[in-house]
Structure formats: structure tokens, C-alpha cells
Structure 1
Amino acid sequence: MAGKRDYGQFCGLAAGLNIVGERWTFLIVRELLIGPARFNEMIDNLPGIGPNLLAERLRTLVEHGVIEARSVPGDGRGKQYQLTLVGEQLRAPMLSLARWGMQFLEGDDRNGAVRAEWGFLAVQAMVIEDRIPTVDESYEFRVGDAPFTIQVRGGAVRFMRGEDPDADLVITSDPDTFVQIGARMITPFDALAAGEIKIEGSADAIQRCTRMLGLS
């Protein structure tokens, strides 16, 4: 890749950073961890990046097989980007990095941009693998005006955009509150008392979900 940064080191970490170490690249992957997205959707959720730079970063990720461009059902001219199997391998380390980074969020950071997708990313980062329920159920998170769903099947979790009409649990709040809970700035109980979060579902589903998220 002419003109691209290369650390010139025989090291797996350096080789990985040759691909994802450029500014904005991790945040582009962050958007696709939540689900496939169109170019304009990513531009809207990445305030500060220019279209030319986004196009360049996407092109690099496609060339390395981290993401792929797919046609949009019902739109012959449209395309959306999604992670490949190679890109999906970034999910665990990136969620770990997000979870690690939340300890550094401070009150002043709330003056910055926040998106519904980032609120749901905070929820994803909170999942504790050995506390995933053994029963099959789903939890819907209504983050602002955007619905997202966590499906639990066979002891594994799947994260999706969109609502689930058969959800066993529905949690409604704004993106800022979800991030604050993930960063341990406030507890869910404080948010409930302040009317900033709403929970609908059985006591058992609530207990299983909050335990999985390390909140019980």
C-alpha cells in the first residue's frame, strides 16, 4: 500500500496497526460493530471527518478484507458497508477497549457529541461473557429514537439494529444516560429514580439482563 503508514516491524500488533492505526479508522469500525451502514449514515455519526477521508479509510479497509460493500435490498444503486469475518474479529478487542476507555470519561465530556449508536455500544461493552443467560430471550434498548436489540441464543449474544416485537425486556432512555451508566457515572437505580430510564419486563428477565451487564 504505497503512501500508507508501515511501522516496518515483524510484530502482530504493528501489523494490525498498519491497517487500523490511522486516525478515525477505529471509529469507522465502531459504527459497523453496531450493524451495516451507508456512507451518509457514517458521515452523520462521525462529526469532524470529511467525506474524502472517510472514503479513503473505507477503501483501505475494503482492500484489506476488513469490511465489504454490499448492495442495499430494494435499492439497486445504493450500497452499505459491513464487517467481514476478519472484521468481526475486531469486535471483542474493540469492546474491551471501549469498556477500558469509559473509566476516563468525565462530566465535561458530556458537552461533546453523543449518538444513539454510541449509547448502545456502551451497552455492548458492558456484557460479561460468563454471565450471559442460559435461556433464550431478547432485550430491546430504545436509545433516544433508535431501537436496538440484544438477542441471547444458546448462551451467545447477537447485537442488532431495530426493534424486537417479542422482546422479553424493553429499556428506554437517551444516549447520554446509557453512556453514563456504562461509565459508572450513575447507577441504573439513580436513573430510574430520576425518571431518566424506563424498564418494562418480567423481574426474572430484568435480573438476567442486569447481571449480564454487570449491574446487579
Structure 2
Amino acid sequence: MAMIRYPQFCALARAAELLGERWTLLIVRELLLGPKRFSDLRAHLDGISPSVLAERLTRVEALGLVRRSVLPPPAASTVYELTEDGLALRPAVFELIRWGGRFLLPAREGERIEPEWMRLALAACARRGASPPRSFLLRIREGAKEATLHVTGGPTGTVVTDRPALADVTIVASVQTILALMSGAVSPLAALEAGRIETTGDPAALAEFPQLFDAARPEQRRAGP
């Protein structure tokens, strides 16, 4: 299948040529989380056929955005990972996540919800200026799936990692509840009283959790497609 081309000498048009096909940005999303096997990518991209995924991967490899590598033993699996040019998409992807958050909630019936994707959502919406010097251990659960993330505020902004660390507060909640807390759509106290979160640690720190993020506020939200 030939690449879509726009007859315009414009950097945005060129970016749209490279990234505008269906699935391409979602492949980039998966690889921003780390190297993935073909089967891992297909498992998280509902509805994509093996042939379409193979074609998209071949194309982004040819464009120099993705490369293949082999994990060391004992795994010894072939994985796909972003190149330097692919990793340079991170700021643009983060801005799209921040903008897309206006149209996200609530989840549509039947949509896949992956706790792992919250690492990107939290990092994209992390406050870039000074934030409260608090630390949070998040255990984000959806059924049997769970992602554990660490969020720390400070004078230079909020940092999100998946590395274990001590925290002032532990929060156990679903993806949609964490998103609601980040945006201020629900307060930590209200979520606790409603049984939407489980928590241990400093109550004063818990109340400051929304201040670590610059997510779309309720008044900025729009109905999704």
C-alpha cells in the first residue's frame, strides 16, 4: 500500500504523511513504553490483523523510526524498539495525550483499558513547574491487570517512573478513577468516601495529589466522538 502524500512543502504535512496512517501512532505509543515483541504489539492493538501490523512495522522501520533487536538470553526474542528519531516523538505524543484527555472520559463500552498506558498519561500530564514535594505509589488496577507507578513532586516539576521507591501515600484505584483525581473531577476525599480508592499514608499528602498534574479540568472536557 502506497504512502499517503500531500503535495505541500510543509513540515506538518510531512509529519502527517509519516504518522497519519491508522495504527501508526498507537504503535509508537506501545514502543514509548519499551521494546515489544510482535505478539505483544498485536495483543494491545485490538482489531489489527497480523498482516497489517507487519506492514506498518515494515514501513516505520524503513522510515527509520523503529528498529529490530534481539533480547539477551534467556529471552533471546526479537523485539521492536524506537530509534532516536522515533524517541524524538515523545514530546509530540505527550501533547496529543494532553489534548486527547479533553475527549476521553467516560470510557466507551467495550474499550480496552490498560493500566500500563497510564505511565504515559501520567507523564504527559505531569506538572512542569513546581509541584508539592509529595510522593505517591500508585497501584492502578483493571481486573487482573495492574501497573505500579511512582509519582514525585518537587521544585522542578512532577516525575513519573515505574521504579520502586518509598512514598508518602499509596493509592490503589482504577484507571478512570486516577484520571478523575488528576483532573480534579473528583477529590481524593470524595473518592475515598465513595470507596473508589484504597489508600495508606499521610492524609494531608493525599489531598495534594491533583496538584502534581496539569490534566484537562472538568470545564475543559468535551464529548468524545
TM-score scaled by structure 2?
0.75
Question: 1:140/1:108 Cα in 2 relative to 1: closer, same or farther (>3 Å)?
Answer: closer
Contact kept in structure 1, 2:183 and 2:214, CA below 8 Å: no
Distance 2:171 2:178 in 1: 10
Q: Counterpart in 2 of 1:175?
A: 175
CA contact (8 A) 2:130 2:157 kept: no
1:35 is displaced (CA, Å) by 2.5
Aligned to 2:19: 20
1:61 maps to amino acid? V
Bigger Rg, which one = 2
Distance 1:36 1:131, change over 3 A: farther
C-alpha separation in 2, matches of 1:181 and 1:151:
14
User: Deviation of residue 49 (structure 1)?
Assistant: 0.9
Cα–Cα, structure 1 residues 106 and 214, in superposed 2: closer, same or farther, change >3 Å? closer
The one-letter amino acid paired with 1:112 is E
Q: Which 10-residue stretch deviates more, 183-192 or 20-29?
A: 183-192
Aligned residue in 2 for 1:58: 57
Counting matched residue pairs gives 210
- Alpha-carbon offset, residue 43 of structure 1: 1.1
Higher strand share: 1
Distance (whole Å) between structure 2 residues aligned to residue 151 and residue 62 of structure 1: 33
Is the partner of 1:131 in helix, strand or coil?
Answer: coil
d(CA) in 1 for partners of 2:208, 2:87: 26
1:34, 1:160 within 8 Å by CA — same for their partners in 2?
Answer: no
Deviations along 1:111-148, whole A, 9 cap, x unmatched?
A: 42211123343322321211356x7x864432223334
The Cα offsets for residues 3-61 of structure 1, whole Å up to 9 and x where unpaired, read as: 22221321111111111111111111111222222221221111111111112112222
Q: 1:66 and 1:210, CA in 2 relative to 1: closer, same or farther beyond 3 A? A: same
In the alignment, structure 2 segments of 5+ residues that lack a partner are 216-225
CA RMSD of aligned residues (A): 3.2
Verify the 8 A CA contact 1:138 1:149 in the aligned structure 2.
no
Number of the residue aligned with 1:88: 87
The CA deviation string for residues 144-200 of structure 1, in whole angstroms up to 9 with x for no partner, is 233343466994766555x51x23243322233334445665444432222222334
Query: Which has the higher mean CA deviation after the structures are superposed, 110-119 or 96-105?
Result: 110-119
Which residue does the alignment assign to 1:116? 115
**2:9 equivalent in structure 1:** 10
> Structure 1 counterpart of 2:190, which letter?
D
Contact 1:35 1:160 in 2 (8 A): no
Contact 2:137 2:149 in 1 (8 A): yes
CA distance 1:192–1:20, shift in 2 (3 Å): same
TM score, norm. by length of structure 1:
0.78
Alpha-carbon spacing, 1:108–1:69, altered in 2? closer, same or farther (3 Å): closer
**Gap change, CA 1:192 and 1:119, over 3 Å in 2:** farther
* 8 Å contact from structure 1 (residues 102, 182) kept in 2: no
Q: Could you tell me which residue of structure 1 aligns to residue 138 of structure 2?
A: 141
Give 1 or 2: higher helix fraction: 1
Change (3 A) 1:80 1:178: farther
Please tell me the residue identity of whatever aligns with 1:81.
Y
Q: What residue identity is the alignment partner of 2:177?
A: T
- Using the alignment, how far apart are the partners of 1:23 and 1:78 within structure 2? 26
- Of all paired residues, the percent bearing the same amino acid is 30
* Partners of 1:116 and 1:175 within 8 A in 2: yes
Q: Which SS does the other structure have where 1:109 is aligned?
A: coil
Structure 2 CA distance for aligned equivalents of residues 179 and 154 of structure 1: 23
Structure 1: gaps of 5 or more residues: none
